[in-house]
Amino acid sequence: MPLTLHAATVPTWLQITQGTRGLIDVAEAWCSDNNQPASTLLDAKLADDMWPFARQVKCVWMQSAHALNAVQSGQFEPELSDPPTDFDGLRQILDTARDTMLAVDPLALDASADKQVDFVFGGKVRMSFTAQNFLLGFSNPNFFFHATTAFDLLRMKGLNVGKRDYLGSLPILG
């Protein structure tokens, strides 16, 4: 059976989104156990020119649920408002991502593969893609970049998280 656009994106995005949500629980517990304010982790950056943990988590939503909505509308505009400022807000945005992904009709997404999606920034179309190329060549790599960066920030801060935490629930048989 050929791999569909839905199968190539949504199930793995759901898996990693749930793994990222679990990381937020670990981060909140670490702050509590170590008498640290949430900002110690929420504002953590790998480098000065990179976004902090909270925005990395928000980008997991943006490159999954927001990207899927862009396929429907034909237009993707980065959502650059401030990220949530607490762990509950981050959980909520990931729950929204999960709910959006679960609501996607696989056949409708697959049928949209050749639909045009314009990348809009500053009110101007900067790039145009087919939906398939947008999801697989733009959103997918960005999704994993931001999820991995969020994970790496927690490791950098000394949290006891590993690959199993990042991966979430594996899609195993049985």
Please write the tens of the pLDDT for every residue from 58-91: 999 999 999 999 999 999 999 999 999 999 999 9
**CA gap 89, 97 in Å, rounded:** 12
Per-domain residue ranges of the chain: 10-167
Grade residue 2 by pLDDT with cuts at 50, 70 and 90. Answer: confident
- 3-state secondary structure at position 99: helix
Q: What is the pLDDT of residue 98?
A: 98
Which amino acid would we find at residue 154? L
> What residues pair up with 76 in beta bridges, in sequence order?
119
User: Which tens digit of pLDDT belongs to each residue from 143-159?
Assistant: 999 999 999 999 999 99
pLDDT digits (tens, 9 = 90+) for 93-131: 999 999 999 999 999 999 999 999 999 999 999 999 999
Cβ-proximal residues to 174 (8 Å cutoff; 6+ apart), any chain? none
pLDDT-based confidence at residue 6 (cuts at 50, 70, 90): very high
pLDDT(1) > 80: no
Residue 162 CA to residue 150 CA, distance in Å, equals: 12
Q: What is the largest CA-CA distance in the chain?
A: 52
Measured CA to CA in angstroms, residue 99 lies from 82, 96, 170 at distances of: 21, 5, 19
CATH homologous superfamily of 10-167 equals dinb family like domain (1.20.120.450)
Measured CA to CA, the distance from residue 25 to residue 17 in angstroms comes to 13
For range 45-54, the mean pLDDT: 98
pLDDT of 174 > 90? The answer is no
Q: d(Cα 55, Cα 58) in Å, to the nearest integer?
A: 5
Contact call for residues 118 and 76 (beta carbons, < 8 A): yes
Q: What is the pLDDT of residue 36?
A: 98
Paired tokens of 30: 């670490």
* Assessment of whether the complete model's pTM goes beyond 0.85: yes
pLDDT for position 160: 96
